[in-house]
Amino acid sequence: MPKEWPNMLKRFVFWDYQRGSVPYDIMCILILAFIFLTPRAVFRDQPKPKNVVMIPGASGNTVFWIDAELLGSYPAAERPKRAEAIIRHQTQGKRLKLARLEPIFDAEQEIKGFMAVAQPE
């Protein structure tokens, strides 16, 4: 190993190159390449699913899956009104009326989300 390697490694770790120099530019290119070319799977980074999803329904109804985070903090009496507002926002103001709102539970009886069935007004 040449005698310059420890010095080069030290300068690399402590970022001791002047701005605009060739080594500085190479380090910037390496950092950007790492950021943009490293696959997501390396960091187990996955996109977060949507909080509201429209599901095809039968007989003219539209069904929405609403994440528990959006409605779980509201009292049970206020949830239908809030769910209807979320549905109107999701559909850009289409005239939909909430027919029913059903909580979906997991095996531990914790609310995982809500199924909202909406009908045209």
Tens-place pLDDT, residues 91-112: 887 788 888 999 999 999 998 9
- Identify any residues that bridge with 97 across adjacent strands, giving them in sequence order: 119
Percent of the chain with pLDDT over 90: 26
**CA nearest 84: which of 70, 64, 98, 68?**
98
Count of residues for the chain? Answer: 121
- Residue 74 gets which letter from DSSP? S
Return the pLDDT at 25.
Answer: 92
Q: What pTM was computed for the model?
A: 0.55
Q: Which helix (H) or strand (E) is 110 found in, with range? A: none
Return the pLDDT at 46.
Answer: 67
DSSP 8-67: HHHHHHTT-SPTTSHHHHHHHHHHHHHHHHS-HHHHT--PPPPSEEEEE-STT-EEEEEE
